[in-house]
Chain A
Amino acid sequence: MSYEMLLNEQDVSLEITARRPDLRIKSGDLVHTVSEVPSVGAAFEVVIDGKTHTGWRAVVGDEVFVRIGTRTFVVGLPQAQLRAHSKGKGGDALHADMPGTVIALHTEEGAEVKAGDKLITIESMKLQVGLVAPRDGTIEKIHVPAETAFDRGATLISFVALAAPDAPPAKSTGT
C-alpha cells in the first residue's frame, strides 16, 4: 500500500511493505522497521531500526506536528487543490473555456515549452487571461492568430502528441 503525504511541506511517497510483527516502511530505496512503545498523551516512544527515540506530537487541524530530539516535523496531506488540478488536464491541446479574442502569443510553432509556461493571452469580458502550457512538450500548431476572435471550445494551440511509452506514469494518490 503506498501513501502520499507532506513532510515539512515536501511531497513524500511511502510504501508500507509489512505490518506484522513490525511496521516496515519503504521510502525510496530505504526500508525502515518501526515499532511504537504504547504510551499515554502527547509524548511517545518509537523504535526505528532498533534505536529508541522519544518524541512529542500535537495535532492541529489536519496536520500533525512531531518533535523528536531537537527537530520538529510537520506531517500533512498533499493539497487537495493540486490533486484536483493534476487530473484530466495535460492533453494535447489548449481549448478556449469561453469566447474571446487572442491578444498576444508568447510562443511559436515548433517551440519546446515547459508545463506552466505562458503561451497565449486572451481577452474576454474586459479581462485578459494568460493561458499556460498544461504539460511539457512541443507546439505543433497555433490555431488562432493574434487579434482574432474565437468561439467557446475552440482549439487555440495544439501540442505534438506524446509517444505512448514516454507518457509519464500515472501518480497514485493512495487510499
Chain B
Amino acid sequence: MTIIKSNLSTSSEEFRQRYAHNKKAVAELREMQRVARHIRPQRDLDRLSKQGKMLPRERLEKLLDPGTPFLEFSTLAANRAYNGESPSASCITGIGTISGREVVIHADDSSVKGGAWYPLTVKKIVRALEIALENHLPMVHLCDSAGGQLQLQSDLFPDKHLAGRMFRHQAMMSKYGIKQLALVFGQCTAGGAYIPGLCDYNVIVRGTGAVFLGGPPLVKAATGAIVTSEELGGCDMHTQVSGTCDYPADNEDDAIRIGRDIVAQWELPKKWSIQQAVPEAPLYDPDELYGIIPDDIKKGFEMREVIARIVDGSRFHEYQPAYGTTLVCGYAHIWGYKIGILANNGILFNDSSLKAAHFMELCNQNNTPLLFLQNITGFMIGTDYERAGITKDGAKMIMAQVGSHVPKFTVMCHASFGAGNYGMCGRAYDGRFLFTWPNHQIGVMGGEQAANTLAEVKLNQLKRNGQEVTDAILNEVRTQTLKAYETQTSAYYSTSELWDDGILDPVDTRNALGMAISASLNAPLGDRGYGVFRM
C-alpha cells in the first residue's frame, strides 16, 4: 500500500469557504443532537425524580463499562415527525461495551410521554434488533415504556416490519444463541410485556417495574376488579409466583449491578478472523474533511482526499487506477481492519460499473469487507451508453453487491440519486451499517429534474384534456415539487425516517466505522455465490 498524495490546498479560498460552511453545518448537527438527547420539559423530569427513576442516559452511563465508547444510532430519528414531540423517536439505541462484551442497547425514554412508542420508535427498535441479529451481538433492553401510541396504532401495529417484528426478532436471536437481557425499570404493558418475556434473562425493579398484558385500568374496565400494579405484575409476584421475571432488584442501581453481572457470565464471542494490521491514525488530518465537502450538492470532489482522511496511515492500494476512473476502488485498513473501498469520483459509466463488479468479486474472494463511500448522481444515460449496455452493466454491479458474502458498510458522503444508490449499497441492500453526513441528499432524482419532469407531464395532461396551459400552472407544479424535494432529500429527513443509522460528524466517520466493522465480525460470513450476471 502507498500513502495517498493529497493535492488539497488548505490555503485556497475554496477550502476556506467549504470549511466555514461545513463547520457551521456540524455545529447545527451537534446542537440538534444535544437538544434531542438532553432537553426535556421540567414537569417530566420532576415526575421521574418523584418516582425514583433515573433518566435513560444516566442508566446507560452506569450500565456501560466506564470509559468505553458508545456508538449511538439515529439520535435524530423522528426529528421531522410528530411536530417534534418524539426526540430520538423516544428511545436510545446503539452499541456499547458491558463487562467487556460488545452489546446492542435499546433503552426506552420515559421522559417523553411515558416512553410511549410512536411508529418511528418501533422502526428504531426493530432496526436495533436487526443489527443485533445480523451481527450476532447480544442485546440489553432497558424497559420503561407505556406501550404503543394508541391513536397511531395502524402505523405501528399490523404490518410485517412493525411492532410484531420486535418479538419475532427476539425469538430468532434466542434461537441462534444470541443472548438477550431485559432490565425492567418501569411498566411493560401489552406488547411491551413480551420484551422481557422473550428475553433469555431479565431483572425487575421492586416498586416501579411491572410486566402485564393488561394494566390496572384495563383490568378494571374489562372485569371490574380493582388491583394495584404491584399485585398485578410487580417484582415480587413475577420473581416468586409467575416466573416471568428472573432477578428481583431493590432499586435501579441494583438492577444495573445484577445486569452487568449477568452479561459477565456470557461466553465471549468467537469473531471471524479478518486480515488485520496495527492501527495507525491517518497521515492527513480528518479535520480537513470540512474543507473538502462542497457546499453545493451538484459539485463533485476528489474522493481520494476523503479516503486519505479516514484510513490508517492514509495508505491505499488502488485497484485499476487507470480504468473506469469515475469509481475509485482499492484496499485500505480502518482501525487495523482490512477493507475494500468503492468510492464515487463521478457518474457511473459502463467501465466504472464493470470495475465495481469485478472489485467486489475480488473482495469476496479475499474475505474482505466492503465500504461504499457514496457521492453518486446516477448511472450515465443517453443513446451511446444504452447501446453500450449501461443497464446490464449496472445490473452486474447490483448482482455482485447483493451476492457479496462479506459485510458491507455505507457512508452517504454527499449525493445519492437514482439507481446509483442501489449499486452503491443503499439502505435496501442489507449493509450492516449505513451512516450519513449532514450535507447528504437522497432522492430518486434531483429536485430540478423531478420538477421539470412533472411540469412536462402536467403540460401533456392539460393538452390532452383540451385545457388551457399557462406558465402559472407549470410554475406552480415546479415550485411545489422543488419544495417537497428540498424537504425530503435532506439528511435530516432521511435520518428522521430511519433511512440510515444516524448522521455522523465527518471527522467521526473513522471511529464509527471501526466500531461497526468490529461488531460485524461476530457473525459468520454469509453464503457464497452470485446470481446470473447479464453478459
Q: Give the B-binding residues of A (Cβ under 8 A).
A: 6, 9, 61-62, 76-82, 84-85, 87, 98-99, 116, 123-130, 152
Are A77 and B449 in contact (CB-based, < 8 A)?
Answer: no
**Which residue of chain B is the closest to A100 with respect to CB atoms?**
B347
**Which residue of chain A is the closest to B345 with respect to CB atoms?**
A129
Are A84 and B415 in contact (CB-based, < 8 A)?
Answer: no
A-B contacts, 21 listed (Cβ < 8 Å) = A9-B3, A78-B2, A79-B3, A80-B318, A80-B321, A81-B2, A81-B4, A81-B304, A81-B318, A98-B380, A124-B380, A125-B378, A125-B381, A126-B415, A126-B449, A127-B298, A127-B300, A127-B377, A128-B298, A128-B299, A152-B384
Q: Give the A-binding residues of B (Cβ under 8 A).
A: 1-5, 7, 296, 298-300, 304, 315, 318, 321-322, 346-347, 349, 377-378, 380-382, 384, 415, 417, 445-446, 448-449
Cβ of A81: which chain B residues have Cβ within 8 Å of it? 2, 4, 304, 318, 321
CB within 8 Å for A126 and B446 given contacts A9-B3, A76-B2, A98-B349: yes
* C-alpha gap A61/B381 in the complex (Å): 41
Are A128 and B300 in contact (CB-based, < 8 A)?
Answer: yes
Are A127 and B415 in contact (CB-based, < 8 A)?
Answer: yes
Are B322 and A84 in contact (CB-based, < 8 A)?
Answer: yes
* C-alpha gap A87/B325 in the complex (Å): 14
Are B7 and A98 in contact (CB-based, < 8 A)?
Answer: no
Instruction: Write the nearest CB–CB distance from B120 to chain A, whole angstroms.
Output: 30
* C-alpha gap A6/B5 in the complex (Å): 12
**A-B complex: 9 closest residue pairs judged by Cβ atoms:** A84-B322, A126-B377, A84-B321, A81-B321, A127-B377, A79-B2, A126-B446, A129-B300, A125-B347
Instruction: Write the nearest CB–CB distance from A107 to chain B, whole angstroms.
Output: 16
Please tell me which one of the listed residues A116, A126, A128 contacts residue B7 in the complex, with CB atoms under 8 A apart: A116
* C-alpha gap A123/B296 in the complex (Å): 13
CB within 8 Å for A77 and B2 given contacts A85-B322, A123-B298, A126-B415: yes
* C-alpha gap A44/B321 in the complex (Å): 37
Instruction: Write the nearest CB–CB distance from A132 to chain B, whole angstroms.
Output: 9
Cβ of B1: which chain A residues have Cβ within 8 Å of it? 61-62
Besides the known contacts A76-B2, A125-B378, 20 further A-B residue pairs in the complex with CB atoms under 8 A apart: A9-B3, A62-B2, A78-B2, A79-B2, A79-B3, A79-B5, A80-B2, A80-B318, A81-B318, A98-B349, A98-B380, A116-B7, A124-B380, A126-B298, A126-B417, A126-B449, A127-B300, A127-B347, A128-B296, A152-B384
Are A99 and B382 in contact (CB-based, < 8 A)?
Answer: yes
Are A125 and B380 in contact (CB-based, < 8 A)?
Answer: yes
Instruction: Write the nearest CB–CB distance from B13 to chain A, whole angstroms.
Output: 12
Cβ of B299: which chain A residues have Cβ within 8 Å of it? 128
* C-alpha gap A4/B382 in the complex (Å): 43
**Which residue of chain A is the closest to B449 with respect to CB atoms?**
A126
Are A98 and B318 in contact (CB-based, < 8 A)?
Answer: no
Are A98 and B347 in contact (CB-based, < 8 A)?
Answer: yes
* C-alpha gap A165/B2 in the complex (Å): 35
Cβ of A82: which chain B residues have Cβ within 8 Å of it? 5
Central interface residue in A6, A62, A129, by most chain B CB within 10 Å: A129
Instruction: Write the nearest CB–CB distance from B511 to chain A, whole angstroms.
Output: 24
Are B321 and A85 in contact (CB-based, < 8 A)?
Answer: yes
Instruction: Write the nearest CB–CB distance from B347 to chain A, whole angstroms.
Output: 5
